[in-house]
Structure 1
Amino acid sequence: MKTLKKNILNKDSYIIAKNITVVIITFIVLFSLTFYIIFTDFKNELIKEAKIKYDLQTTSHSLQIKSMILNHDMKSLNKNLNEIISTNSFKTIKLSFNELIFNKEALLNNTPNFSDIKATISDVAIDIRYGSIKKLSDSYFYFVPSSFFNKDDFISIRYQAYKNNEIKNLFASFEFKDIIKEQTLSKQRVNFPFWLEYIFDYDFKNRKKELFFKDKKILTIDYILDTYNIKYEVYSFTKNLFLYAFFMFFPVLVFFRFYNYYVFKRYVTKPIHKLNSLLDDILQNKFHRIKAKEFDGTQELKQMVQKVSELSNKLASNVNELNISKETLERKKSTDTLTGLENQKIFEQDIKAMFVSSISGYVIILRLPTLKEFSSLNGSNTTDTFIENFVGIVKNIIYRFSKIDVTMYRFYGSEFAIIAKRFDNIKANQMCEAIINTTLKELSQKYKLPNNLLTIAGTPFDLYGTLNSILSSVNEAYEVAKKNPNSYHLITEEQIEHNYATLEKVVSTIIHDANFDVDYASNSYSFDDEKLVMQEVSPIIYDNNQQKLPIGSFVSIAEKLNEIITFDKLVIQKVIEYLKYSKAKHEIAINLAVDTIANKEFNRWLEEILNANKDLKKKIVFSITSYTASLHKHKFKKFVKHVNELESKVLLKRYNTNDYPLEELENIKVDYLRIDKEYTTNLSNDKIKRHKVKNILIFAQLNDMEILTDRVKSDNDYALLKRLGVYATSR
């Protein structure tokens, strides 16, 4: 059905995409070629003109200011510099005096309260500590600095002026330090986009001019160029060119829009969308009577609609025959029929979820130890009503403490359980106290109650534990609680955490020293010839007291300590060594943690070690539970792809369709599925289980997978699995 849907959608969509793609590519090629030719010519011409402009400006300016330098007319010089800097051609202009040569006019310009040009100048001198004055001609003088002279100091020059038989002793002050004029940037300047640097990266060299008087260099002028105006011109030209291209291409887009909307949409797109919607409904088991007359399209499309209509009718008939109240049956299997509470199976699944998500909380057991005595006191026909009332009271109390974090379960007749997520000891105690007091108070008003009606026991959720260890801890608490009637006892977090530090140290030492052995268990034998085809590696780990550590607890601690990857590497190395010396012909399954399969360094290491043992890598199967894989689908898919590339294999263990639906496995190349034992226990007497197993086998055949089962005990179940074509099983 998915293939049919995909073909229908792609057939005409491909034509639209192809036409639009051809037009767009043609336009891009033509525009790129045109842009390159026009822009290259424009850029070269702009650079040429800019160079000429900068050369002319700097040459003209340097000639303009030469007389101002000799006259030492600083007022006119500053005005001139302000004018040229305002042209925005230069960021900075720096004037550096090399030699101080001045004339009569310079002396007069820099003498306070005296400016008679007709006066005769003589006896021009300076303090001998700063240097001396030499006369170059009748009107020009040259300052020769001494070693004590500092350029930042003012120069005070003494001279005599004669006019009308009157002599005046005068002083002129000169400044010899560098002059720097910087451009004041306008706030209106545009911030150019990053792409401008890629299309226009020409680097204009700054200009330098030197002024001479006779053979002496009097001034060096550094012009730091401002290329903003040039870049702005390039930016404007490029932007206009793109706008021009857009308006040239726009009519083509309008034409395609018209064609798609009025022609293609009516006869191709609209019918396909309608058919697509119908196929979506069919995939969701929503069937319709499809009439080809309702579709305006080509003759070929109408024929396809007719065939889809026939296929829909056949599928509807088959689904109706196979749908034997699946939801009702599933609900019966997972809930208690009297109270509506979820049963022990769901309780165990929720505990697994807490292990994976590392959620804290309390696991609590409620028992009615004298239920038989209650029946004697009140009559056996009141027992069911009593249990319903009891559950209702407890659920109301739970709701007061948390609306979402507390769930109640019924295991069997007189035993119930509560998972209280994110509860600490104080809150758990308060809830248990409320349950004891409220149930006794309200039920005593309706029934005759035995002396010891209710006993409650609980333990904090142990992230390093297992389901069995948690239930064992609850039972220990129950032994304490039952000593008093209608009482409860909760183990504290401190009691559980007391052993954490010791366990962490033990686990870390074991991994660091590689101080563990491995066994090979879960022997799987083929149904065809009953040969051993696969074993599962089973690490054997002991603590300091030579007590065997549960592998689940060990892995949890190793994950917390970030040492699980090292541990998994050690296991792989031990398996490779075993395969080398044992020359085993069967495959070995190795369980890996999520942190391990997602680690890049581990995957590089895995590639190296498998390539170094090419003759063994096809005998190694990497195993992951379907529940874990479903919680980390992206990591799982990526790892499977990597293992496929390495020519090794992957096994999905404890597989059930609730964890990982078959359709989601379709595009993942998993080599083996080991079906959860719940599917194969009492298989021969359960039609629902047989139907599920058959579906899994059909899927496996279509996707080149092998199916294994786990611990089949019944001979009837074994015989049925063999007839169905299962690859192998353990017993």
Structure 2
Amino acid sequence: MTLSKQLSILISVLFLAIFSVNYVISVNNIRSYLQIESQVHAQDTATSLGLSLSPYILKESDPILKTMISAIYDMGYYKEIKLDNADDKTLVKLANAKVFEEVPSWFIKLLPMETATAESEINSGWTFGGTLYVTVNPGYAYLKLYQQAKNAFYFSLLAFSVWICVLFFVLRLTLRPLEDINDLALAIADGHFDKIAHLPWTTEVKNVAHSMNIMSRKLSGVMTNLNGKLSALGQKLQLDGLTGLYNKHSFDSDLKQLYLEPTDGYLFLLKIDCLASLVKERGSEAIDDFLQNCAAELKQTAQNFSSEATAYHFYGAEFAVLARNIQPPQARKLAKSLSMTLSELGHVHHKDDIGHIGVVAIDPMGSPEDMLPAAHEAYEQAVMIGPNSYYIRTGDDRAKDIAEWKSLVFDVVDRNSYTIQFISPIQNLADQRILMEEAFIQAFDKHGTSLPVGLFVSIAEKYEKIVALDRGVIEKVITHLESSSSSLNIAVNLSSRTIKNGDFRAWLTQQLKQHAAIAPQLIISFSAYAVAKDFDAYHEFIVFLRTFGVRVALKRFDGQSMPLDKLKTLRPDFVRLSRELSNHLHGDSEKTSFLQTVKEIGDLLDISILAENVLADADFDIVKRIGLTGASR
């Protein structure tokens, strides 16, 4: 019940209590007054009429006695007027039993009134002539009392209604700031640190609103500091400390993301072959300067070519450039530019043959793990060509060509001839419960040979079969959850193409309504990189999922995958850190600080932070000590 209703009820009860007491006292006072007035009136009438009858009282047969009594009686206020002589013989008696129908019987029973009777002795000189009895009709008193009581009740009811309306508006005006305070508290819980611009005039409420503004400002500062710390740590984890280029971990992450997108790209692997001889000739500081110079030139060349070309430094003399959305002629042009950069560096450092470049196209039929070996093979071919040369690998042997793969994937999806395994259980670090498992596709060809899942999903995505595949996976997961009595949560991965498909949305709506009981056990998982790339579409889909109680997880989260403000807007239930951030924590203070910062942000935003595939026991102990919600091993 709202505070406004509680105050309204309390004030109404107090008003009714006070009104009831005053009303009862008022009615009783009026009744007492009317009784006294009736008694006085009866006595006055008896006295005055007795004086008027005294000259004629000894003449009992005189008609004037009755005439005078009738004149008074006809006024109608009397129930009975009786005249007795000295011997108690009734000479005149007039009676009126008039009943006022306006007065209900229950009112008369509830407020009984004594009938007022007065008497007056009539004398003629010194002779006692008789006695006059006057009884007032109580109906008039009841009628007046009833009218007074009714008028008082209606007036009080009107006053009560008016003041209730006034009270309602006053309470609304007074308590409206509490709604602003409540909205601010909810906004803070959602990660939006606003403030109440117009403080209320009520002192106590004003103090609370001011305190809320202070808390919001301080929490905003905390979030800003955490965001800055997270960005700085994430940037440091992503960059090579010596050259400032992105490191090997960033390259692996970007390459995996590139395979999730239906886009073309090329990998350029550069090795500085003269580094070993330079180490012998120069000191460590000179070598560092040389590598920094190489990094700067390579980065400049890549950026001049395309904003989608990124330079990396792996270790030692090994560099790479990953270029997205380029075709073979552009790849050849970039390779030539990089070769010229190597030649210029060789001229500066008096080395004719400074390095070589191996180039390989992103193979949608391959996997991220195959790219670097292929690039190394291309590099070996470049070494045999000549100084500072490059070699572009144009082909690769495949077990099946694209047409065969497409036919195979379509056949498997159409026949629903794949199975679902539940892998990577994530353990709740607080009570060792299993938080969730992940649905993993296992597909086979007609001969029963297991197909590489990454390639299978990539072909389905490329040729728009992924929606049917995702739909089939959800159907199998729902069947599994219904057939088992377990309350285990299952994470299902969906692609960007699937969430944008209107038919899939309609189908999923029907499924979630039909299986509402198990909807909370479904956890729809998205790549943090994919969400950041198409934020509006994912945000709208996540809002849609929440209407059915389905929870959401972001996976492969690292310092650069998604800005904090977008994370605050999405408010996923779970954030799964990338494998690189979940391992090799022992002795790495930067990673540990990053995890601590993410955990603090998760606590503020009510998001569960999960570690992914923690291998070493020492790393697992660190994850537990930091206080992450869960981890898989």
Alignment correspondent of 1:458: 359
Contact between 2:520 and 2:549, CA under 8 Å: does it hold in 1?
yes
1:286-343 CA distance string (max 9 Å, x none):
xxxxxx9xx9998979989986997699679979997997766554433334433232
Residues 558 and 665 of structure 1: is their aligned pair in 2 closer, same or farther, counting only changes over 3 Å? same
Alignment correspondent of 2:280: 376
Is 2:326 aligned against 1:423?
yes
Matched ranges for 1:78-477 at <5 A:
329-352=233-256, 354-355=258-259, 358-376=262-280, 382-394=286-298, 398=302, 402=305, 404-436=307-339, 439-440=342-343, 443-444=346-347, 446-448=349-351, 453-463=354-364, 465-477=366-378
Which segment drifts farther, 405-414 or 485-494? 485-494
| Secondary structure of 1:713 counterpart | coil
Is 2:600 aligned against 1:710?
no
Is 2:564 aligned against 1:659?
no
Q: Which amino acid aligns with 1:714?
A: A
Aligned equivalent of 2:540, options 618, 629, 638: 638
Contact between 1:367 and 1:416, CA under 8 Å: does it hold in 2?
yes
d(CA) in 2 for partners of 1:517 and 1:309?
Answer: 54
d(CA) in 2 for partners of 1:533 and 1:512?
Answer: 32
**Larger relative contact order (C-alpha < 8 A, sep ≥ 6)?**
2
Residues 510 and 531 of structure 1: is their aligned pair in 2 closer, same or farther, counting only changes over 3 Å? same
1:634-665 CA distance string (max 9 Å, x none):
33233223333333332222234643445544
d(CA) in 1 for partners of 2:266 and 2:344?
Answer: 25
d(CA) in 2 for partners of 1:343 and 1:650?
Answer: 30
d(CA) in 2 for partners of 1:640 and 1:557?
Answer: 26
Contact between 2:260 and 2:458, CA under 8 Å: does it hold in 1?
no
Contact between 1:390 and 1:443, CA under 8 Å: does it hold in 2?
no
Residues 314 and 533 of structure 1: is their aligned pair in 2 closer, same or farther, counting only changes over 3 Å? closer
TM-aligned CA deviation for residue 411 of structure 1: 1.2
Contact between 2:516 and 2:548, CA under 8 Å: does it hold in 1?
no
Residues 725 and 302 of structure 1: is their aligned pair in 2 closer, same or farther, counting only changes over 3 Å? closer
d(CA) in 1 for partners of 2:219 and 2:487?
Answer: 45
Q: Which amino acid aligns with 1:411?
A: F
TM-aligned CA deviation for residue 417 of structure 1: 0.7
Contact between 1:625 and 1:654, CA under 8 Å: does it hold in 2?
yes
d(CA) in 2 for partners of 1:366 and 1:646?
Answer: 51
Residues 309 and 649 of structure 1: is their aligned pair in 2 closer, same or farther, counting only changes over 3 Å? closer
TM-aligned CA deviation for residue 563 of structure 1: 1.4
Q: Which amino acid aligns with 1:672?
A: F
TM-aligned CA deviation for residue 585 of structure 1: 3.8
Q: Which amino acid aligns with 2:583?
A: T
1:499-527 CA distance string (max 9 Å, x none):
33332222112212222222221012222
d(CA) in 2 for partners of 1:694 and 1:316?
Answer: 18
1:691-713 CA distance string (max 9 Å, x none):
55445445545655444321223
Q: Which amino acid aligns with 1:340?
A: G
Q: Which amino acid aligns with 1:413?
A: G
Is 2:445 aligned against 1:522?
no
| Secondary structure of 1:623 counterpart | strand
TM-aligned CA deviation for residue 468 of structure 1: 2.0
Q: Which amino acid aligns with 1:425?
A: P
d(CA) in 2 for partners of 1:424 and 1:668?
Answer: 36
d(CA) in 1 for partners of 2:228 and 2:587?
Answer: 17
TM-aligned CA deviation for residue 570 of structure 1: 1.4
Alignment correspondent of 2:577: 675
Contact between 2:233 and 2:559, CA under 8 Å: does it hold in 1?
no
Matched ranges for 1:6-45 at <5 A:
none
Q: Which amino acid aligns with 1:478?
A: Y
Identify unmatched segments of 5+ residues in structure 1.
1-282, 286-291
TM-aligned CA deviation for residue 459 of structure 1: 1.2
d(CA) in 2 for partners of 1:284 and 1:520?
Answer: 37
**TM-score, normalised by the number of residues in structure 1:** 0.51
Q: Which amino acid aligns with 2:280?
A: S
Is 2:434 aligned against 1:532?
yes
**TM-score, normalised by the number of residues in structure 2:** 0.58
Contact between 1:460 and 1:496, CA under 8 Å: does it hold in 2?
no
Contact between 2:426 and 2:436, CA under 8 Å: does it hold in 1?
yes
Is 2:463 aligned against 1:561?
yes
d(CA) in 1 for partners of 2:192 and 2:542?
Answer: 29
d(CA) in 2 for partners of 1:317 and 1:667?
Answer: 18
Contact between 1:652 and 1:673, CA under 8 Å: does it hold in 2?
yes
Aligned length: 444
TM-aligned CA deviation for residue 535 of structure 1: 1.3
Aligned equivalent of 2:453, options 536, 544, 551: 551
Contact between 2:226 and 2:597, CA under 8 Å: does it hold in 1?
no
Is 2:381 aligned against 1:480?
yes
d(CA) in 2 for partners of 1:333 and 1:445?
Answer: 32
d(CA) in 1 for partners of 2:568 and 2:246?
Answer: 32
Residues 556 and 720 of structure 1: is their aligned pair in 2 closer, same or farther, counting only changes over 3 Å? same
Residues 570 and 472 of structure 1: is their aligned pair in 2 closer, same or farther, counting only changes over 3 Å? farther
| Secondary structure of 2:543 counterpart | helix
Contact between 1:626 and 1:654, CA under 8 Å: does it hold in 2?
yes
Contact between 1:374 and 1:448, CA under 8 Å: does it hold in 2?
no
TM-aligned CA deviation for residue 602 of structure 1: 1.5
Q: Which amino acid aligns with 1:415?
A: E
Residues 480 and 546 of structure 1: is their aligned pair in 2 closer, same or farther, counting only changes over 3 Å? farther
Contact between 2:520 and 2:550, CA under 8 Å: does it hold in 1?
yes
TM-aligned CA deviation for residue 444 of structure 1: 4.4
d(CA) in 2 for partners of 1:667 and 1:381?
Answer: 46
1:568-602 CA distance string (max 9 Å, x none):
12112222333344544422211111222232322
d(CA) in 2 for partners of 1:672 and 1:481?
Answer: 46
1:466-520 CA distance string (max 9 Å, x none):
4323334323323433445534221227989993333222211221222222222
TM-aligned CA deviation for residue 539 of structure 1: 0.6
d(CA) in 1 for partners of 2:318 and 2:416?
Answer: 44
TM-aligned CA deviation for residue 566 of structure 1: 0.7
Residues 460 and 720 of structure 1: is their aligned pair in 2 closer, same or farther, counting only changes over 3 Å? closer
d(CA) in 2 for partners of 1:421 and 1:664?
Answer: 24
| Secondary structure of 2:432 counterpart | coil
| Secondary structure of 1:659 counterpart | coil
d(CA) in 1 for partners of 2:328 and 2:591?
Answer: 42
Contact between 2:237 and 2:590, CA under 8 Å: does it hold in 1?
no
d(CA) in 1 for partners of 2:217 and 2:472?
Answer: 57
Q: Which amino acid aligns with 1:531?
A: R
Contact between 1:377 and 1:448, CA under 8 Å: does it hold in 2?
no
Residues 725 and 348 of structure 1: is their aligned pair in 2 closer, same or farther, counting only changes over 3 Å? closer
TM-aligned CA deviation for residue 364 of structure 1: 0.7
Aligned equivalent of 2:495, options 568, 588, 593: 593
The structure that has the greater radius of gyration is 2
